[in-house]
Amino acid sequence: MSHTKNIHFLPPELYPHIAESLIDDRRSLRAFALTCRAWRAVGQGFLFRRISVTGERRFYELMWLLDAHPEAGVWIHELCVSTLFERPQNDWIYTIPVLLPTRLTALHTLTFSNVTDLMAYDEEKFFPNLSPAFPSIRTLNVMDCTLPLAAFIDYLSLLGNLDSLLIEGFRLPNTVTVRRDFTSQEHPWEGLVVPSSSCVARLRSFALCRSSTHACPTNNFVRWLGHASGLRSLSLDINRHQDLQNVGRLINAIGPSLENLGLGIYTQDYSFTEYINLSSCTSLRTFALRPSHFSPIPLLSQLVSPHLRKITLIDILERHIHPPLCALFRKSVFAAVEIFIVSTRCKEFSEPMMCMMAELSAHLIYSQNRLLLEH
């Protein structure tokens, strides 16, 4: 007696969704690509979507792969370049604008990570050559690098299609000279020359994250961002009192068009609300706050946007949360808001925190040890 097994096939339109959900799990993604020929055709593209080049040997391995399989070049959308653990000078980086553009025609995200001598490539016109070589680049991430800030903004002006910029954990060998009367200017970005071809007018997302060992040059970037009329997402870490006034002026100027705002306030000055007012942010959809020692209530009380849908509070001291936060979140402006309370320092929340979560259970999303806001 024969038995017939029922075999169920997934619709082909689901394959890309499955592969995309595995993109952060390389092992599972490889297994997906090896399952069958149809899955391999989809999985290969996602396997090569994000490529990390950590040193000279990996760089030339990538070159060999692209020479042997040119079709793989169109799969690579995100490239991360790192010189971690290598010698101080990395001459192979000079060849990136020369050797890779014809091979990576679909590249839209470029990341420099741990390139401690990035400032050295200014003399060889590395950045000026980078823009015409990769006109498809939309996102630039510069992380833990040594930056020639005096010329860096000029370099950014050359990236005509750039719409997202992240700068995190950097070193500054040179700084832009700031006039002594800078903080007294009504609009501190006035007088700063921005080329008409600059990407700043088209920039839609900017994030400046603090370094553990070096202060962020917040004021220098605030002067530049004052011309960013198209900015929709802004994330700034503030380390010094003198930055507060100019960050406040920037938010007042571009606040009506902002949809996503993240602030990390690391100063010891509790009078930050004298300078920063969020009432102009009438289009805000998400707001993230990263304080460590003060109450978030003053800033949260300023939120008036009817479009607000998510608030993320990171490492808030418990004494600042319950009960005043419960009363605040009962206001009508927070009626449709999801609240993310994130702890990166402790494994468990205390009883007062759990009580607050119970009171706000209607729209509170509880999370531990995870950063849920994406810039």
Indicate the average pLDDT of the chain: 74
| Class of domain 49-172+194-348+355-363 (CATH, top level) | alpha beta
Can you give the pLDDT at residue 175?
Answer: 45
CA distance 251 to 222: 10
Give the model confidence (pLDDT) of 270-309 as tens digits: 677 788 899 999 999 999 988 767 778 888 889 999 999 8
Tokens of 329: 């979140």
Domain boundaries, given as residue ranges, for the chain: 12-48, 49-172+194-348+355-363
Can you give the pLDDT at residue 182?
Answer: 40
Q: Check whether 310 has a pLDDT greater than 70.
A: yes
Can you give the pLDDT at residue 232?
Answer: 94
Q: What are 205's strand-pairing partners?
A: 164, 233
Confidence of residue 364 (pLDDT cuts 50, 70, 90): very low
Report percent pLDDT > 70 for the chain: 60
Q: What's this model's pTM, rounded to 2 decimal places?
A: 0.77
Which residue type does 14 have? L
Give the model confidence (pLDDT) of 6-36 as tens digits: 555 666 666 666 766 666 766 776 776 667 6
Give the model confidence (pLDDT) of 198-212 as tens digits: 667 788 999 988 765
Q: What is the chain's length?
A: 375
Q: What are 340's strand-pairing partners?
A: 312, 365
Of the candidate ranges 61-75, 182-196, 315-329, the one whose mean pLDDT is the lowest: 182-196
Can you give the pLDDT at residue 92?
Answer: 82
Helix, coil or strand: residue 185:
coil
Of the candidate ranges 88-97, 148-157, 172-181, 316-325, the one whose mean pLDDT is the lowest: 172-181
Can you give the pLDDT at residue 352?
Answer: 56
% helix / strand / coil in the chain, to the nearest 5? 35, 20, 45
| Strand 109-113 to 78-82 pairing | parallel
Can you give the pLDDT at residue 341?
Answer: 75
Can you give the pLDDT at residue 375?
Answer: 27
Closest CA to 132 of 169, 103, 161, 175: 161
Q: Check whether 94 has a pLDDT greater than 70.
A: yes
Closest CA to 169 of 231, 84, 94: 84
Look up residue 136 and give its DSSP letter: T
Can you give the pLDDT at residue 260?
Answer: 96
Beta strands in the chain (DSSP E): 50-54, 78-82, 109-113, 139-143, 146-148, 164-168, 171-174, 205-209, 233-238, 260-265, 286-289, 310-314, 338-342, 364-366
